[in-house]
Chain A
Amino acid sequence: MFETTSLNTRNQRTQTLFRMLFGLMTGLLILPVLMILATLIYKGGPALSIDFLFTGPTHGMTAGGIFPALLGTVWLVTVALIVSVPLGVAAAIYLSEYAADNWLTRVINLAIINLAGVPSIVHALFGVGAFVIFFRFGTSILAASLTLAIMTLPVVIVATRESLQAVPLAFREACWNMGATRWQTIRRVVLPNAVSGILTGVILEVSRTAGETAPIMFTGAVFFTPFLPQGIFDQTMALSLHLFVVSTQVPGVPEDLPYGVALVLIGMVLIMNSLSIAFRMYLRGKKKW
């Protein structure tokens, strides 16, 4: 009654084959990441030290540390976040919770997707035109951060909207039926359950913002400055641009220096990502339905 037919055997074999195929693809995906990390640690590791992190470049940038660039990146990312997170989250809440499904909403959604597809160098030129020249911010942290913020807005909006829409409609209806306004529903039921997803979007944005070079090249980041930024109207060095500079623009740089810069940049992003994953797991542990 329970004999194995040849069809069963064939199905079993096909299943094994496909599992191995997909597993192999996944392995291939991880390989470059591991190789990049290994190379960076092997070649850049020796350059790392507390001094490297906390002193400025010396000898025409062929020696010394990266502190101004590190600090500059922190400035740029922070200011960009302060602008884009409230803006993006608010827009996503509107699109997901309030906007009716009509042609205008669809056009806006399309625009957001297109904004995500605009090359970063185009954003850079827009930043120069809008913030540096038109708003007279000059080449400054503010102009560079605003450019970064606009570039990464779609990431925040899409991630937030997705996580809001992952909250079941039944929860909203239950609240509405109790006499809750849309806002009361959003604040008490929808947002608390969407926070972990929103956070993912924000972290993705941090990673992208920290690594971008083109949008800040013309808007606020400089080749070299002996001064640390004091406020949002100062120019600053940045890790990503610094990496470009020491790799290609300055002669006589020892090999481990650019690798060291790259390692710090990647390390920053990885630490941010790990923190967010840990925080998300904590939040997700509290959420169940």
Chain B
Amino acid sequence: MVSTMRASESRPAAVSQDAPVKLTIRDLTVKYGGTPALSGVSLEVREHEIFGIIGPANAGKTSFLKTLNRMDVFDSNMHVEGEILFNGRDIRRWRNIYALRSRIGVVFPLPVGLPLSVYDNVALAPRLSGTNDKAELDIIVERCLTRAALWDEVKDRLSSLGSLLSGGQQQRLTIARALSQDPDLLMLDEFSIAVDPVTTMRIEDVLKELRQDMTIILVTNLVQQARRLADRTAFFLDGECVEIGITEDLFTGEIKDQRTRDYVEGRFG
């Protein structure tokens, strides 16, 4: 059985349970048209925490991420209710959603290498926020690509198209791009779906490093990935947050809800 596999030894110690709160979500409900995608989700994410979200398809995981950076504004079909406090401020009252989004990095399930050069992919976010100084951009690009464990592979072809890199490289490019925003919060949505196992492990190592500088929300359909990385994990099912707990507890039997147990142990419908 999968869940008996040992978690990675290098797993960092969990963030203490009294670390400051980064994100508070109260009674979050999302509807597409009339169809509910999330109903009444409440949870807290602490600073420098890696917060895992697991659950089957259609559980509302992606909708959850989309509400956090106000993508509902660009989707007239999407209706959000509830309260989201980011650094203590209600994000629905942020006057400038672009400023909010620039502080939240997002990595998608499928890598999105923009049809720009590798360099321009990473320099895009700084340029959007007004950094045009070549020397400064050079530093940002190198730093972000290095942190995303991609620099060595692309440093000699920074001017070739980002969309021509391999899938695993493009996913690391996407991470480098998210890092170039210098985000407070990094959200990863099933980042390893189109990535080979070796690259997945490299990215997981990168995430362990990154947590020192930011809070990470990791949506994953790999239960073991949550186990390897997340301090706490929430289990979403059918738009509902069934259970939230210290990740390791989910695997050692301290589970309150039978549905969570079934999912974690791979016995799900």
Contact = CB atoms under 8 A, between A and B. Distances in A.
A287 B116 CA distance: 9
A188 B177 CA distance: 15
Contacts of A179: 98-103, 125, 128-129, 181
Contacts of A193: 115
Interface in A100-156: 100-101
Contacts of B255: none
B69 interface: yes
Given A101-B76, A180-B98, A188-B124, A174 B115 contact: no
B112 interface: yes
B114 interface: yes
B149 to A, nearest CB: 20
Contacts of B105: 177-178
Interface in B38-80: 69, 71, 74, 76
B113 interface: yes
Interface in A137-196: 170-171, 173-182, 184, 188-189, 192-193
B69 A177 contact: yes
B106 interface: yes
A288 interface: yes
B74 A176 contact: yes
B117 to A, nearest CB: 11
B7 interface: no
Contacts of B124: 175, 178, 180, 188
Contacts of B127: 188
Chain A interface helix/strand/loop/mixed: helix
Given A176-B74, A178-B102, A288 B115 contact: yes
Contact of A288 (B106, B161, B177): B161
A178 B125 contact: yes
A288 B104 CA distance: 28
Nearest to B99: A179
A289 interface: yes
Contacts of A173: 71, 108, 112
A193 B163 CA distance: 13
Nearest to B129: A179
A178 B178 CA distance: 7
A177 B106 contact: yes
A184 B76 contact: no
Contacts of A178: 101-102, 105, 124-125, 128, 177-178, 181
A176 B71 contact: yes
Interface string B81-122: 000000000000000001111111110101011111000000
Contacts of B74: 176, 182
B100 to A, nearest CB: 8
A204 B98 CA distance: 38
A174 B114 contact: yes
A170 B112 contact: yes
Contact of B110 (A100, A170, A177, A188): A170
Given A101-B76, A179-B181, A184 B128 contact: yes
Nearest to B125: A178
A186 to B, nearest CB: 13
B98 A181 contact: yes
A101 to B, nearest CB: 7
Interface string B153-168: 0000000010110000
A256 B161 CA distance: 53
Contact of A180 (B110, B128, B164, B174): B128
Given A178-B128, A188-B124, A170 B101 contact: no
A170 B177 CA distance: 14
Among B69, B100, B110, B115, max chain A CB count under 10 A is at B115
Contacts of B125: 178-179
Contacts of B69: 177
A236 B20 CA distance: 77
Contacts of B99: 179
A101 B33 CA distance: 13
Contacts of A182: 74
Among A174, A177, A289, max chain B CB count under 10 A is at A177
Among B101, B104, B113, B164, max chain A CB count under 10 A is at B101
Interface of A: 100-101, 170-171, 173-182, 184, 188-189, 192-193, 287-289
Given A179-B100, A182-B74, 7 more contacts: A100-B76, A175-B124, A178-B105, A178-B178, A287-B115, A288-B115, A288-B164
5 contacts: A174-B174, A179-B125, A179-B128, A189-B116, A289-B113
In the A-B complex, the 4 residue pairs with the closest CB atoms: A179-B102, A179-B101, A289-B163, A177-B106
Interface of B: 69, 71, 74, 76, 98-106, 108, 110, 112-116, 124-125, 127-129, 161, 163-164, 174, 177-178, 181
